[in-house]
Amino acid sequence: MFRSYKSVAGAVAALVVAAGLSTGALGQSLELKIMAPAAPGGGWDQTARAMQAALTESGAVKSAQVVNVPGAGGTVGLAQFVNAKGDGSQLMVNGFVMVGAILTNKSPVTLEQVTPIARLTAENQAIVVPADSPIKSAKDLAEALKADPAKVTWAGGSAGGTDHIMVGLFAKAIGVDPTKINYVPFSGGGEALAAILGGKVTAGVSGYGEFEGQVKAGKLRLIAIAAEEPVQGIDAPTLKSEGIDLAIVNWRSVVAPPGLSDEQKKALLEAIDKMVKSNQWQETLKAKGWDDAYLAGDDFAAYLKNEQVRVGEVLKSIGLVN
């Protein structure tokens, strides 16, 4: 009985705190609108909503609201977003996937038009095989791929997305023609995971978080992650340590509309900086298993340019973009 009273008190307290914050008793005067260019539930939506909570609770902004504009790898949202020229109270969440989607969808609007603010999070990409697979390591997988690229079936996310790009890069890194890979796209992680668990495909590629539970339960074998350095808490070698020169992370970032004044840009950068350093944000990262990949302002702008070039090259070599 005592326990339930306590949780009621907790609920009430949370509501009171939330109400207090929304009146803007503390913090700055910014009233932000954050666009998640995807349907509720996905990674971008979760990022936007985590930002909303952290921004308001840390008092970095007065209020924040999230708008979902789903469609076409975020390019529908992007096309709407660039119309908010000079509006310093809007942000949009995006990431690696959008870089590819702009190219594959031949989007008339590109990331050149937005004002880069900061990279926020990153997720490690992992390669798994079914637990009873004869493939024990990334080297085995590379050998199989060299022997007959078509026979190695890969399950992952949508065509042209992070997972597909990673498989293309994997082939390239071991000297196999990337156009020959047999990549089977699945919409949504669930279906792909089922296909890997059921042994319908040779290997699966996705964010480590998607596989974690199955790996720990011994139903999937984690053969490698695509990080630069070994990651604490993940019991697998990096591809680089296995002699395969490939590192890729699925990063998510936040951008602002085009045509901002220096002052507007500074205000947004400051708000995001305060958010990233707040306890709330750090707790969210831990809870969701996202890596802190904070990189702000001009450094992020340069990084973004670099990724665009890399992704463009891969998509061409896989044959997805002419």
Partner 1 sequence: MLDSVFALAQGFSVAFEPTKLLFALIGVFLGTAVGVLPGIGPALTVALLLPVTFKLDPTGSLIMFAGIYYGGMYGGSTTSILINTPGESASMITALEGNKMAKAGRGGPALATSAVGSFVAGLIATIGLALFAPWLVEIAIQFGPADYFALMIVAFVTVSATFGDSPLRGLTSLFIGLMLGLVGIDALSGQARLTFGVPELLDGIEVTTLAVGLFAVGEALFVASRMKHAPETIEPVRGSLWMTREDWKRSWKPWLRGTALGFPIGSLPAGGAEIPTFLSYTIEKRLTKHPEEFGKGAIEGVAGPEAANNASAAGTLMPLLTLGLPTSATAAIMLAGFQQYGLNPGPLLFAERPDLVWGLIASLFIANVMLVILNLPLIGLWVRLLAIPQPWLYAGILVFAAMGTIAANPSPVELVMLAVFGLLGFVMRRYDYPIAPMVVGLILGPMAETQLRRALQISLGDPMALIESPLAATLLAIAALALVAPVLFRGLSRFKAEED
Nearest-approach distance from CB 320 to partner 1, in angstroms: 5
Please say which residue, 8 or 302, places its beta carbon nearer to partner 1. Answer: 8
Cβ 125 vs Cβ 249: under 8 Å: yes
| List 20, 86, 213, 230, residue binding partner 1 (CB under 8 A) | 213
Stretch that binds partner 1, among 33-41, 87-95, 110-118, 244-252 (CB under 8 A): 33-41
The residue assigned the tokens 């890596």 is 291
Q: With CA atoms as reference, report the closest residue to 60 among 91, 38, 100.
A: 91
90 makes contact with partner 1 (CB under 8 A)? no
| List 86, 190, 230, 243, residue binding partner 1 (CB under 8 A) | 190
**Angle at alpha carbon of residue 54, lines to 52 and 57, rounded to 5°:** 105
Stretch that binds partner 1, among 85-93, 114-122, 173-181, 209-217 (CB under 8 A): 209-217
3-class SS at 213?
Answer: helix
243 makes contact with partner 1 (CB under 8 A)? no
Stretch that binds partner 1, among 105-113, 118-126, 165-173, 300-308 (CB under 8 A): 105-113
Binding flags for partner 1, 141-180, as an x/- string (CB under 8 A): ---------xx-x----xxx---x----------------
31 makes contact with partner 1 (CB under 8 A)? no
How many of the other CB atoms lie within 10 Å of CB of 198?
Answer: 9
AA letter at 251: W
Cβ 99 vs Cβ 272: under 8 Å: no
AA letter at 225: I
Cβ 240 vs Cβ 247: under 8 Å: yes
AA letter at 273: D
- Give the DSSP per-residue string, 143-204: HHHHH-GGGSEEEESSTTSHHHHHHHHHHHHTT--GGG-EEEE-SSHHHHHHHHHTT-SSEE
250 makes contact with partner 1 (CB under 8 A)? no
Q: Which positions touch partner 1 (CB under 8 A)? A: 3-4, 7-8, 10-11, 13-14, 17-18, 39-42, 45-46, 49-50, 52-53, 67-73, 75-76, 79-80, 104-108, 150-151, 153, 158-160, 164, 182, 184-185, 187-191, 193-195, 197-198, 200-201, 209, 212-214, 216-217, 219, 286-289, 320
